[in-house]
Amino acid sequence: MQDYVPSDGEYVTGWQSEHEAYPFRISARDLARFALLYLRKGQWNERQIVSENWVAESTKTHSEGKRGRGYGYMWWTGDSGFRSVGIKGPVFLATGYRRQYAFVFPERDLVIVHCINSDTTKTIPHRRQVTHLMWLIFRASGDTSLAPSQAIEDANGKRLSGNAISDLFPSISVFGKNSRTGNPYKITFSNDGSLSAVAGENSDSKDDGRWWVDEDLYCQAYGTWLRGREYCFQIVHDGDLLKLFDRKGVLTSTVSIDKD
């Protein structure tokens, strides 16, 4: 380690467990070294620092999760979790506070780390932004098996202005599928800025909310879904599809248009 000192970590207790935790601070280059140590099966400069058997045992799946993922000994295991952008293959990774990551791709002989300075920002990158960063890294490596870019500057279709959004939305409903559950949903927009939504195979989940335009962003808030939080998106209109991009210009969802 180049930057780590013992005072960068300490034992803490909390209501979540009877066992102590040991959170610690680590620089990106030190985290990359740690990941590289595991990529090299515990060796550093031809010296066995960590048992090769322990590396193998700790980075294999002991608890099965969803979508081909699992958990080992303090490592997440299994599928990379980036299939949406075409990144496939086995990986094990460590995750930390505020989207700190250490990814190890054994078959690619590659480690990638992602860190933020939690002392200077309260902004937490969304997973889709990390996903797009991974896509950019793999594209730069020459990987030709990737899915198309999810960046708004590469999107097909026309980016809508605030006026175009105001004109279009009161005349449509949209259909989509929840990216996590796969459940279908439908949202209907009204001229008065209200919206109604139904979700589920039998439309058994319902909610109302509101929508509005903020400069060139489409914004919405449900009454109870998503805890009533406000979300704003850049919109690209591509035939019978609307593509919603976050403020950073990364694709969040694609929905089909049904005009009334």
Has residue 80 got a pLDDT over 90?
no
8 A C-beta contact, residue 62 and residue 73: yes
Has residue 59 got a pLDDT over 70?
yes
Alpha-carbon distance of 151 to 246, in angstroms, equals 10
- Centre a 10 Å sphere on the Cβ of residue 40 and count the other Cβ atoms it contains: 19
Identify the structural domains of the chain with CATH numbers, from first to last: 6-140 (3.40.710.10), 152-259 (2.40.128.640)
Going by C-beta distance under 8 Å and a sequence separation of 6 or more, which residues neighbour residue 71? 61, 62, 63, 65, 77
pLDDT for the residue 98:
81
Going by C-beta distance under 8 Å and a sequence separation of 6 or more, which residues neighbour residue 166? 213
Comparing 203 with 76, the larger pLDDT belongs to 76
Reading phi first (left if > 0) and then psi (alpha if -120 to 50, else beta), residue 212 is in beta
Q: Report, as an integer, the average pLDDT of 217-240.
A: 94
What are the pLDDT digits (tens) for 4-17?
A: 888 888 999 989 89
Angle of CA points 224, 191, 194, to nearest 5°: 10
What are the pLDDT digits (tens) for 83-130?
A: 777 777 778 999 888 889 999 999 889 999 999 887 777 778 888 888
Identify the three-state secondary structure at position 74.
coil
Burial grade of 117 (CB within 10 A; 0-12, 13-18, 19 or more): exposed
Q: Report, as an integer, the average pLDDT of 56-73.
A: 88
What are the pLDDT digits (tens) for 172-189?
A: 999 999 877 788 999 999
Q: What is the pTM of this model?
A: 0.76
Phi/psi of residue 46, nearest 5 degrees: 65, 15
Alpha-carbon distance of 205 to 198, in angstroms, equals 6
pLDDT for the residue 260:
60
Alpha-carbon distance of 80 to 89, in angstroms, equals 6
